[in-house]
Structure 1
């Protein structure tokens, strides 16, 4: 179980954001650290909640607790706490596709209401991410697998300052180029062959884009991220936040 155990340094940053402290209203939580490691075990292994080892306690209790913390945005706060120091000299944007397990389908409102769509790979979800210059996650958006990457870019970059934006040709859009020009940010985006007026980009700087691709590889080491088994976006996002927090704090 050691590979799923949080370090003391990680836990020191996580603990203040957990529910159930003595100063919180309502019932106090029992062994928040063990519970966090239980959720991390689920995210890392991709196992169903019913398969949670008894070491972590009753699986149903753990799941209900996860649901309560998800509703309270605890995992987002933990991600923010463990991602304090970002290097925004430049930012990178990219997307990755994850297959949706049949257990991840069937939420109220249908798949279209939970960022699930049918693409060449079947039922899929797209994780659109913005990372900093070190390749660490800053923000992400969930999209149905068949939607264009550019659809989720606006909320990703809203209110964030960076010196340049790196992206592949999927992000070669006039509105993105215009937005970056207005900001005074450098455009480091590979261009489509059909673009009439070619833009000069820093080819050497563009090579650094491998960092965001490397990040997706790290993220997909967590099996619950590599294949989505969560019915709702809220649960899937919570697991991404926890995995990203652990990665960013290594």
Structure 2
């Protein structure tokens, strides 16, 4: 493995069966998939422009087109799902999950395209480009918010995008609904963590009721204003929500996961115009994280 090649033979052996056919619609073979994946990784890791890729990867247009094609057809969603199923079968997933979001600044190269803002935008449909391209204006300027659910050890399981000013609370149900890990044996995929840990931004009766209805333990901090309002109402305010202080200390794993993902420069700053291609880069980073996890198992 070199500075330009990140995939080992063992890694490629795990993901190759889930890659698209190496033959195009007109019967012409595609350029080596493995080389293209290494090129895409190199671009996101270094943060360079596509046209500045080293010549050993071939024409940069070919690399970008392959990445765009795989972003549209959900290739990396399928790969991540397959790796999660393999990890779950090996008992490697800690189902005490943590949820949070982070804001990544959008570079001017990502914002020079037409965006429809102010209207409804569906950020839960993973195969459709949202009209605002998941770019909005937050305190730091134009930005994208990355919503993530990771397992109890900080390995991402769900990654969704929204505009920078978007609400964490409104995306919570979508993030939770995206949990889907097929089982090794026959049966329905697992869609419910044992526990969900989240900070005060996710504290609401609706969210606690949603988790309770699905048999998930909520470990969500209660803000001071909600606590004061509940006490002010007396008996009508209801009982205080159950809160495991010891388990809540584990919530930092989701922050560690964001720090890990942002080691790739083109993920820490968004250069991609389209949300689908940017999210595909995030999923590629998630793929590498789970490949390393599975590579450490006998």
In structure 1, runs of 5+ residues without a counterpart are none
In structure 2, stretches of 5+ residues that fail to align are 118-130, 180-190, 231-238, 293-298
Distance in 2 separating the partners of 1:213 and 1:25: 46
| 1:239 is aligned to 2:273 | no
Structure 1 residue 22: Cα displacement: 5.4
1:183-202 alignment to 2 at 5 Å? 183-195=214-226, 196=230, 198-202=240-244
SS of alignment partner, residue 214 of structure 1:
helix
Which residue pairs with 1:109 in the alignment? 115
200-209 vs 92-101, greater mean Cα deviation:
200-209
In structure 2, the residue matched to 1:174 is 205
Q: Distance in 2 between matches of 1:242 and 1:25?
A: 28
**Alignment check: 8 A CA contact 2:24 2:30 kept:** no
Q: Identify the residue that residue 138 of structure 1 maps to in structure 2.
A: 157
Deviation readout 1:62-92 (Å, 9 max, x if unpaired): 1122222222222222222333324253211
Contact kept, 8 Å, 2:105 with 2:143, in 1: the verdict is: yes
1:129 alignment partner in structure 2: 148
Q: CA RMSD in A?
A: 2.0
Whole-angstrom CA distance in 1 between matches of 2:47 and 2:263: 10
> Bigger radius of gyration, 1 or 2?
2
Q: How many residues end up aligned between the 2 structures?
A: 250
- Give the deviation of 1:231 after TM superposition: 0.5
Matches of 1:211 and 1:11 in 2, distance apart? 27
Normalising by structure 2, report the TM-score. Answer: 0.78
Alignment of 1:140-155 (within 5 A): 140-155=159-174
Report the equivalent of 1:204: 246
Q: Is the CA contact (8 Å cut-off) linking 1:78 and 1:242 kept in structure 2?
A: no
Match of 2:96 in 1: 90
| Structure 1 contact 88–161 (Cα < 8 Å) conserved | no
Deviation at 1:198, TM superposition (A): 3.2
| SS of equivalent to 1:248 | helix
Q: Secondary structure at the match of 2:112?
A: coil
CA displacement at 1:25 relative to structure 2: 7.2
Deviations 1:33-82 (A, max 9, x none): 11110000011011110110101111112112222222222222222233
Secondary structure of the 1:244 match is helix
Normalising by structure 1, report the TM-score.
0.93
